Amino acid sequence: MKTITATEAKTKFGLYLDMSRTEPVTIEKSGRDIAVMISIEEYRRFRALEDAYWLDRAKQAIAGGFVGHEESMKLIQGRLDADA
């Protein structure tokens, strides 16, 4: 992974944009990582993984059953009372 400064990113944006098609490019400012430039294919892969994760979580929730209306209201009221 290539690491560059924000100033380099500004002055050579096209170069690093092309580079991000083959490897992530980390951009740092004041010595701290602030962003990563990645290809659209890599971004789509990450999004697909995230979507698959949340779909799996939803399936687990459905398999675990649902809380009824009365139980939901008790839980909400308990949270509200705790915050008061």
pLDDT in tens, 49-79: 999 999 999 898 888 887 778 888 999 999 9
What count of other Cβ atoms lies within 10 Å of the Cβ of residue 17?
13
pLDDT in tens, 23-47: 999 999 999 999 999 999 999 999 9
Q: With contact defined as beta carbons under 8 Å apart, do 24 and 37 qualify? A: yes
Domains and CATH numbers, the chain: 2-38 (3.40.1620.10), 41-83 (no CATH)
pLDDT in tens, 4-17: 999 999 999 999 99
pTM for the structure as a whole: 0.66
HEC-encoded secondary structure of 3-43: EEEHHHHHHCHHHHHHHCCCCCEEEEECCEEEEEECCHHHH
